[in-house]
Amino acid sequence: MLLVLGVIALAGLPLRMVLNDLRYTTGLSGTPGTFSAEHCHAVRSGRVTSLTCTGTFVAADGRGTDHTAQLIDAPADHDQPLTVQRKPDGSYIQPLVFRVALDLSAVFGIVAAAAMAVVIVRIGSSTPPVSAGVPARSRPKVWGPVLYLVSLLAIGCGAAAVLSFVVAVVTVWFPV
């Protein structure tokens, strides 16, 4: 049981980070506004090149302007003002469909992996010792239905993770 709780706790750490990012990519958190790029340059990291732009952020409610805003992974058509969300740490993110789909894919993937780990831990663990004189049929059979439900959770979340990833890939190829 402690191993199962450990698996769930370990899965909670990356899940918390992804869910935090999901709040901003969906536009549910942060300060909405527009970003106008003034200078952009390519940043190469290994095989991946991303476009980083420096410019001005203007909050949608008119309460704030940041003339030193920096948007990492800016789109190639950065000539037009972009809708962004400002995070509390001062970074900016675009609420785009493909980012939401990738975050959902990560959420479902982490839950599926944790559920599968619970199933594997339970199947691989030895059965608890039986007290002398207690027949096996009188012990509660709680793990059977629980294992079945957790297996269904793993399969369902795995399928949802794959589907979300496919949506992310399709929206990159065919922008909405």
**Order of strands, sheet of 92-93, starting from the edge strand that comes earlier in the sequence:** 65-72, 48-59, 31-45, 82-86, 92-93
**The pLDDT of residue 170 is above 60:** yes
Number of domains in the chain: 2
Do both 120 and 89 map to the same domain?
no
Do both 69 and 42 map to the same domain?
yes
Do both 118 and 151 map to the same domain?
yes
d(CA 112, CA 152): 9
Confidence bin at 166 (pLDDT 50/70/90)? very high
pTM (predicted TM-score): 0.66
Do both 106 and 159 map to the same domain?
yes
Range of the structural domain that residue 167 is part of = 2-23+97-126+142-173
Domain stops at, among 93, 109, 134: 93
Chain-wide mean pLDDT for the chain?
A: 80
Tell me if 115 is assigned to some domain.
Answer: yes
Per mean pLDDT, which range of 110-114, 138-142, 166-170 is the poorest? 138-142
Tell me if 156 is assigned to some domain.
Answer: yes
Tens of pLDDT along 60-118?
Answer: 888 888 888 888 877 766 678 888 888 888 888 888 778 888 888 888 888 888 888 88
Yes or no: say if 4 and 21 are a contact pair by the CB < 8 Å rule: no
Tell me if 77 is assigned to some domain.
Answer: yes
